[in-house]
Every structure is written in structure tokens, then in C-alpha cells.
């Protein structure tokens, strides 16, 4: 039932160290143990500098996995914009809530107007 076409590469929230290996394994649909094993072997044979630095850079560049499963492409777009730029996402949320607030104010002004006949409407209900 959920939105299963997650197209992005995310850091897993269930990972051991930053979730990079688990995120890569889930993205490529391979074993997490094999991914971690290859990472450790590469770390041992090449030294810390190239693989360790690449791992840290990957952890900084990869977006974290969404906390809740995404239900639609619209939610995926919003999450991608939020993970990329929180200011843009907060602006989108602020505009949406401002539109909702204006709608509520218009409804309240109609319902609380002096010429709104509550007695008639309640009798007909």
C-alpha cells in the first residue's frame, strides 16, 4: 500500500556507523553484511585515507532516510527539498499554512457575521 518507488540513495537510520553501508546495500538490493565486509576489507588494504575519507564524505553528502515511509511522489519531492534545503521547505510549509489560515479567517468572518442567522439554521437542521 505504501509508496515503494524510493528512487534516492539514503543513509539508513538503522545503520551502525552513519548508516552508509546499509543505505548502499538497500539501494542496490544486496546484503548489508557483504557491503560492510567489502568496506572493511577495502579500509584494511588501502588504509584509512582513501576509504575512510570517502565513507565520511558519503555520510555527509547522502540524505538521511525518511523517518516515516513516503506515501506518494509529492511526499518524496517534499522530503527531497527538505533534506536539500530546509529553508526552502520551511518556506513551502509557511505558505501552505498561511493559505490555510486565510481560508479559516474567511470562514470565521462569514460564520461570526451579524447577519448570519443561527436560529434559522439550527431550527432547519
What's the pLDDT tens digit per position in 20-79? Answer: 999 999 899 999 999 999 999 999 998 888 888 999 999 998 888 877 777 788 877 777
**Which residues are CB-neighbours of 67 under 8 A, at least 6 positions away?**
13
Mean pLDDT of the chain: 82
pLDDT of residue 6: 52
Cα-flanking dihedrals φ and ψ of residue 11, to 5°? -75, 135
pLDDT of residue 48: 82
Tell me the mean pLDDT in the region 96-116.
86
Whole-number percent of the chain with pLDDT over 70: 89
pTM attached to this predicted model: 0.53
Q: By the 8 A CB rule, do 9 and 23 touch?
A: yes
**pLDDT at residue 1, rounded to an integer:** 39
Amino acid at each position: 500500500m505504501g509508496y515503494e518507488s524510493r528512487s534516492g540513495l539514503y543513509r539508513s537510520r538503522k545503520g551502525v556507523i552513519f548508516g552508509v553501508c546499509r543505505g548502499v546495500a538497500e539501494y542496490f538490493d544486496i546484503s548489508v553484511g557483504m557491503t560492510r565486509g567489502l568496506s572493511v576489507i577495502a579500509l584494511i588494504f588501502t588504509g584509512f585515507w582513501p576509504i575512510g575519507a570517502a565513507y565520511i564524505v558519503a555520510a555527509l553528502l547522502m540524505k538521511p532516510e525518511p523517518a516515516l515511509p513516503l506515501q506518494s511522489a509529492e511526499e518524496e519531492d517534499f522530503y527531497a527539498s527538505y533534506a536539500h534545503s530546509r529553508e526552502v521547505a520551511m518556506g513551502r510549509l509557511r505558505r501552505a499554512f498561511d493559505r490555510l489560515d486565510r481560508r479559516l479567517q474567511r470562514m470565521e468572518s462569514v460564520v461570526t457575521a451579524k447577519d448570519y442567522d443561527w436560529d434559522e439554521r439550527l431550527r432547519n437542521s
